[in-house]
Amino acid sequence: MARTLITSALPYINGIKHLGNLVGSQLPADLYARYRRARGDEVLFLCATDEHGTPAEIAAQKAGKPVAEYCAELHDIQAEIAAGFRLSFDHFGRSSSEQNKILTQHLATKLAESGLIEVIEETQVYSVTDGRFLPDRYIEGTCPNCGYESARGDQCDNCTKQLDPTDLINPHSTISGATDLETRATKHLYLKQSNMRGALSEWIESKTDWPVLTTSIAKKWLNDGDGLQDRGITRDLSWGVPVQYEGAPWTGMDGKVFYVWFDAPIEYIACGAEWAAKQGFDDAAWERWWRTDKGADDVRYVQFMGKDNVPFHTLSFPVTMLGSNEPWKMVDYIKSFNYLNYDGGQFSTSRGRGVFMDQALSILPPDYWRWWLLSHAPESSDSEFTWENFQSSVNKDLADVLGNFVSRITKFCRSKFGEEVPAGGDYGDQERALIADLTEKVADYQSHMDAIDVRKGANALRAIWVAGNEYLQSAAPWSTFKEDPELAAMQVRMGLNLIGLYARLSSPFIPDTSGKLHTALALDTLDWPEDVAASLASLTPGHGFVVPDNLFAKISDEDREGWQEKFAGVRS
């Protein structure tokens, strides 16, 4: 049995994510996990909330709650929404877990032993009113280059000039508005990424099958300008993994935590440890997935993420893994995505623009959203969500092609033969031609799914649905019945078996709908149809079924217009 380890980029804790976040990592990861399970793989699919960093502290402060309590509440909310979209995580963990704390500190120690961590003294901006050092993006002022009054401490969004906080005119804290800012000396740990440039380059060059989007971003950060830079991996914060711990190879780091981008990817591994603990397993259960000396050498590890996360997963996290000189399982394939834009602009969490995951589920079932998002996944370029396109895709693909087929054949069978598979003649030339065509189409579908070509996979699945519709339209059992009821019975039997085939093949994309068909047809299993011909003969005469409820309601113009107006402005 093949073994596939899948991780999805960790959603940040401060609020509910929008559909662009969903399609950029978690949803395609779930598609692939479901597909690999259906093909018989042993799969471990892991994700977690990313809970450390300044934004979490500020969000908790605004909510009037202790940060630990706030993160626990938001984790539960995100887990519930993920379940609503049928994301089939084996474990949905938390980067604030004890397992991640232990592993982060362990790996930091190993990196220090490898000579890859250096203590650096630097000056940073301190807010007396806030009582804290301020990250660059929480300092705003007037840009000295263009005069833009809301330039951040790292960059001016108006003229794009790179800045230091001390460059700003009249700087203030965006947390409190305080202007009593001063520079103070502080010490931090730096990860000497530049020392690993050669090893990283060799590793990335060996990944000849990676998407161009992934490798181009990695090589840009590795080679452009001054190349890969050393990176600070600690912050002056209270919420996070403590930098000073028993056995730490440094002193004087009290009151500091590891930078969120250092500990968050480590949570992938720690999430496996959380999963094992929750299941009551020992460490060997997760180590066989993550350590090549404990059995992970035969694991294929696939990561899913948006393009903005690629540098950290192709450079920083691999530095941690390789630099530790321990036998960690390295990623085999990174599937990265461009951005999904919204109705002529961008999704915006801060401005509440677009459709957020909880809102989406409040107006339509998950399969509607899963189908549109996956069939329009932003793989080769950015893609755009428009309500007109969403309405058209749902109505044509789901309601007209799949839903209408199921409704027509089951209702016709009930009216002429009752609610059981009818007996009749054997499959003829038309049916054998259909089986041959579908065998090719299923092979095509599988090849795209194996390659994690999400949109091509969706198109191939739709082509399989269409082939059944074309058969039904051509065979026209409702006409055949008038002259040859036995021949019509055979055609209906083929139609019912096509529904069974669709239920099996469609489960990675639209699992709820597959489940409804599984129940309605009283299928033994939803096992993958490795033999199309056998699958199309599996429902035999006398097998009982029930006519399912309408699978997909069409989206009306009135609904579309109402939603378009509702989600145009600020989230209420």
Tell me: the pLDDT tens digits for 100-152?
999 999 999 999 999 999 999 988 899 999 888 888 888 999 999 999 999 99
Calculate mean pLDDT across residues 306-334. 95
Burial of 16 (C-beta count, 10 Å sphere; 0-12/13-18/19+): middle
pLDDT band for 350, please (50, 70, 90 cuts). Answer: low
Residue 246 pLDDT: 95
Report whether 30 contacts 88 (CB < 8 A). Answer: yes
Percent of the chain whose predicted confidence (pLDDT) is above 70: 99
Question: Which residue would you say has higher pLDDT here, 158 or 256?
Answer: 256
User: Residue written as tokens 């269409």?
Assistant: 466
**Residue length of the chain:** 572
In the predicted structure, residue 331 carries a pLDDT above the cut 50: yes
Report whether 454 contacts 372 (CB < 8 A). Answer: no
Question: Which residue would you say has higher pLDDT here, 90 or 312?
Answer: 90
Report whether 6 contacts 331 (CB < 8 A). Answer: no
Residue 226 three-state SS = coil
Residue type, 103: L
Percent of the chain whose predicted confidence (pLDDT) is above 90: 85
Residue 439 three-state SS = helix
Please give the mean pLDDT across all residues of the chain.
Answer: 94
C-alpha 278/C-alpha 47 separation (Å) is: 15
Residue 492 three-state SS = helix
Instruction: Render pLDDT for 188-224 as a digit per residue (tens, 0 to 9).
Output: 999 999 999 999 999 999 999 999 999 999 999 898 8
Instruction: Render pLDDT for 499-557 as a digit per residue (tens, 0 to 9).
Output: 999 999 999 999 999 999 999 999 999 999 999 999 999 999 999 999 999 999 999 99
How many other CB atoms are found less than 10 A from the CB of residue 83?
13
Burial of 116 (C-beta count, 10 Å sphere; 0-12/13-18/19+): buried
Beta strands, E only, 196-348: 231-232, 234-235, 257-258, 299-306, 333-337, 340-342
Report whether 494 contacts 532 (CB < 8 A). Answer: no
Residue 8: φ, ψ to 5°: -110, 145
Report whether 140 contacts 172 (CB < 8 A). Answer: yes
What torsion, rounded to 10 degrees, do the Cα atoms 243, 247, 252, 256 define? 10
Residue 569 pLDDT: 65
In the predicted structure, residue 566 carries a pLDDT above the cut 90: no
Residue 572 pLDDT: 46
| CB-based burial, 323-345: b 16+ in 10 Å, e otherwise | bbeeebbebebbbbbbbbbbbee
DSSP single-letter state for residue 196: G
